Structure 1
Amino acid sequence: MDENPRSREGLQRVQIGLTGVAGVVLLVGLANIVIDKARVDDAAQPPPTVPTLSTNAIAPKDPLAELGVQPAADQASAVPDLQPDPNLRKPMDRDPQ
């Protein structure tokens, strides 16, 4: 029985398509197995712990002052450069008379 080339070509295309579908199903199945195994391993491990300060550790009194962001309470509250000159009596926004 001699088949024509057109039917052979069609049969070959069907075989390639089925092989591709089987390959995709195999890859999806393997990925599902790997993901399930990872979930089981993650559930078996305890959650990670976060390091905390012990109760007898001394907490900083003013962390912003220690970082230098805010002046400490013992420092002068006013900056001397921003103090008005006590010798100035006239407002500066008017013409001198």
Structure 2
Amino acid sequence: MAETPRRVEGLQRVQIGLTGLAGVVLLVGLANIVIEKARVDDAASPPPVVPTMTSNAAMSPRDPLAELGVQPAPEQAPLVPDLEPDPNLRNPMDRDPAQPSR
């Protein structure tokens, strides 16, 4: 039986296809092993420890955002005089000043 170029090319394509298929099967198997190992490790690890409240914490409530540094605590909040309402302001500002208030 003589080897024709067409037959040789066909055998090369089959070999390349089978090699690729074997590679994909190996990669899927390896990924399955890694995922299964991660599941076993997660199940074996203890649950995270949650700190409990002490009696001092129950007596004085704390602001969790201030503890994290997200916003200043009320005693540390700076007083900005520009944001205070004008103490001399007596009339509401949503009415026409020409009309007397009732």
TM-score range, shorter chain: 0.5 to 0.7
Deviation at 1:51, TM superposition (A): 2.7
Task: Assess, with a 3 A threshold, how the Cα gap between structure 1 residues 7 and 60 changes in structure 2: closer, same or farther.
Answer: same
Please name the residue that 1:59 is paired with. Answer: 60
Unaligned 5+ runs, structure 1: 69-78, 86-90
Distance in 1 separating the partners of 2:35 and 2:76: 46
Distance in 1 separating the partners of 2:32 and 2:25: 11
Q: What TM-score does the superposition give when structure 1 sets the normalisation length? A: 0.63
Highest CA radius of gyration, 1 or 2? 1
Q: What TM-score does the superposition give when structure 2 sets the normalisation length? A: 0.61
- The root-mean-square deviation of aligned C-alpha atoms, in Å, is 3.1
Please name the residue that 1:92 is paired with. Answer: 97
Distance in 2 separating the partners of 1:48 and 1:82: 56
What percentage of residue pairs aligned between the two structures are identical? 62
Unaligned 5+ runs, structure 2: 64-72, 78-84
